[in-house]
Structure 1
Amino acid sequence: MRWLELEGAVNARDVGGLPTDDGGRIARRRLLRSDNLQDLTVTDIKLLVEEFDLTTVVDLRGTHEVQAEGPGPLRGVESVLHAHHSVLPEAGEATDAGAEAMLGHRRERALARYPADPVCAIYLGYLEDRPDSVVGALRSVAAARGAALVHCAAGKDRTGVVVALALSVAGTRRDAVIADYAASGNRISGILARLRASPTYAPDLAKRPDDADHTPRAETMATFLDQIDVRYGGVHSWLSEHGFDGAETDLLRAKLIES
């Protein structure tokens, strides 16, 4: 895993280099992940497009967020395709800035999915509420001509889930998937500072002001992946059930695995 030291984002990294179960590795410059891209500078864009061959941005934010934030600077780059796949129900003004805010009026139903870990319950909700978007995001990654960059607002929850699923399809060791997810905790202060400076996300964060409440826990991702095994028979089984077939699995694996 390689951190991308961007001027306009703080939670950006290349997941290339992570080990797979069969002794291989995830290829570099194939799958990138990040927090919000609204503040990217000219230097950032040059790095992403020229050095990392970025050709596809997979945006997991809700429609409200996209509209409130407006078009980011990468929208002006003709060679970069933008694919929007919101993993939240398209109702209200929910963001991923605060878990309690995300639950909103759906709190009781959401928590019932997994009461022991509310964040895991939210992640399971992505699969139940928006399987179309989760599958669509993976298809966009697999189809990217060059590098695909997956992002949301903080780059840790929605992005964490989609990237974890992509890495799992590629056969990445589970401990490495979990470690990549938890790595966002190393940048949590910067992530939250950016979000608190945004009128879109500041109100949700004000409801949960403690930085520790937003720090991703390795245990949450471990539990989430375990629950996919228990409830659906594993990542591959869940994807197959929702139309992501064997050919698409092969395409995504070929995209991500180092040859």
Structure 2
Amino acid sequence: MTLTDNGFELSAPVNLRDLGGIPIEGGILREGFAIRADDLALADQATATGLVDGGLAAIIDLRSAGEFANTGRGPLGQLRVAYHHLPFMDEVGSSAQVPGSDVLDQSTFAAMYIRMYEAASARIVASLAVIATAPGATAFHCAAGQDRTGVMAASLLLALGAEDDAIVEDYARTSANSSAIMARLAPVMRPMMKALGIELDEAARASMRKEFSPEPMKGLLHHLNTSYRDPLEPLRRAGLNDALIAMLRERALG
């Protein structure tokens, strides 16, 4: 068993997947372009080495500064891969501060996703620029690979011209991994959440009583489609342009 400097166990990610195979404008998103994941800072050495040997060139870390301070970059920090820290939230418990979102009920997270997409739009655009220019695959991750990572995946897929149903389908694939995600992250997240007045064990019990819901992603997409002429409008205001979109689509199609 290998541990981090803070005593957390390193292990293989349980919610890592290549976005290859998703229909986008002009064809099918190729494999080896974009990877979404749960916490790569806790990835074991074998996983880290395997990712880099398989073509991983850049990592986008969407975690908060507090999360990074807790676990750093892990074994990937010692390998030849570019690293970009672009946090989507100031603190891991920010969802508890968004009206309409209940940290104990994943099905209510649409308001948090909407706020994230609009408030972190500049960091989303910066992330898209990394993906468009990396000389290999880019992996983006938060802690669970569900919420911040889900919004980032949706943003990329929107820029690539994917249909809403394909975006929701990708988001919903996390459902099968929910229990494993909670077990993997509990030792790290429990003390951080407790410091914010949130009992992770209570959240885990609540989540186990409910099925994973696609409604948060559906809610984000509905908001974007009904509030803007173009769902990419908040990102365009933050610097997304047609040249970057064209570069993303060209590289995604290979």
Return the TM-score normalized by structure 1. 0.82
Please say if 1:244 is aligned against 2:240: yes
What is the rounded CA distance, in whole Å, between the counterparts of 2:209 and 2:247 in structure 1? 37
Could you tell me which of 29, 34, 57 is aligned with 2:32? Answer: 29
The equivalent position to 1:65 in structure 2, one of 58, 64, 67, is: 67
Which position in structure 2 is the counterpart of 1:219? 215
Residue ranges of structure 1 left out of the alignment (5+ in a row): 1-5, 96-100, 112-116
Q: Give matches, 1:127-146, under 5 Å.
A: 127-146=117-136
Rounded Cα–Cα distance in structure 2 between residues aligned with 1:206 and 1:147: 35
Q: Tell me if structure 1 keeps the 8 A contact 2:62–2:140.
A: yes
What code does the residue aligned with 1:146 have? G
Is 2:89 aligned against 1:81? no
Q: What CA distance in whole angstroms lies between the structure 2 residues aligned with 1:153 and 1:61?
A: 7
Contact 2:34 2:139 in 1 (8 A): yes
Q: Which residue of 1 aligns with 2:104?
A: none
Asked if the contact 2:65–2:87 (Cα under 8 Å) also holds between the matched residues in 1, the reply is yes
Per-residue CA deviations over 1:73-120 (Å, capped at 9, x if unaligned) read: 10101x2001111111x3xxx31xxxxx4334x344x65xxxxx6301
1:47 paired with 2:50, answer yes
Matched residue type, 2:31: R
Question: Is 1:11 aligned to 2:1, yes or no?
Answer: no
Q: Distance in 2 between matches of 1:172 and 1:84?
A: 26
**Residues 175-186 of structure 1 aligned to structure 2 (within 5 Å):** 175-186=165-176
- Cα RMSD of the aligned pairs, angstroms, is 2.2
d(CA) in 1 for partners of 2:45, 2:116: 33
- 1:197 corresponds, among 187, 203, 213, to 187
Distance 1:60 1:46, change over 3 A: same
Residue 203 of structure 2 aligns to a residue whose secondary structure is coil
Which region of structure 1 is more displaced relative to structure 2, 6-15 or 198-207?
198-207
CA distance in 1, matches of 2:250, 2:191: 37
* Cα distance between partner residues in 2 of 1:18 and 1:211: 28
Q: Does 1:102 align with 2:94?
A: yes
Name the % identity: 29
Which amino acid in 2 is paired with 1:43? A
Of residues 144-153 and 119-128 in structure 1, the stretch that sits farther from structure 2 once superposed is 119-128
1 CA distance for matches of 2:87 and 2:185? 18
8 Å contact from structure 1 (residues 69, 200) kept in 2: no
* 8 Å Cα contact 1:68/1:200 also seen in 2: no
**How far did 1:7 drift?**
5.1
* One-letter amino acid of the structure 2 residue matched with residue 16 of structure 1: G
Deviation at 1:213, TM superposition (A): 7.0
The answer to whether the aligner puts 1:206 opposite 2:196 as a matched pair is no
Where in structure 1 do 4 or more consecutive aligned residues deviate above 6 Å?
none
SS at match of 1:165: helix
> What corresponds to 1:119 in structure 2?
109
> Is the CA contact 2:117–2:151 (under 8 Å) kept in the aligned structure 1?
no
Structure 1 residue 191, shift from structure 2 partner:
0.2
- Change beyond 3 A, Cα 1:250–1:144: same
For the residues of structure 2 that align with 1:192 and 1:8, how far apart are their CA atoms? 14
Output the TM-score relative to the length of structure 2. 0.84
How far the C-alpha of 1:255 sits from its partner, in A, is: 2.1
Query: Residues 46, 71 of structure 1: CA spacing in aligned structure 2 closer, same or farther, 3 A cutoff?
Result: closer
Deviation (angstroms), 1:207: 4.4
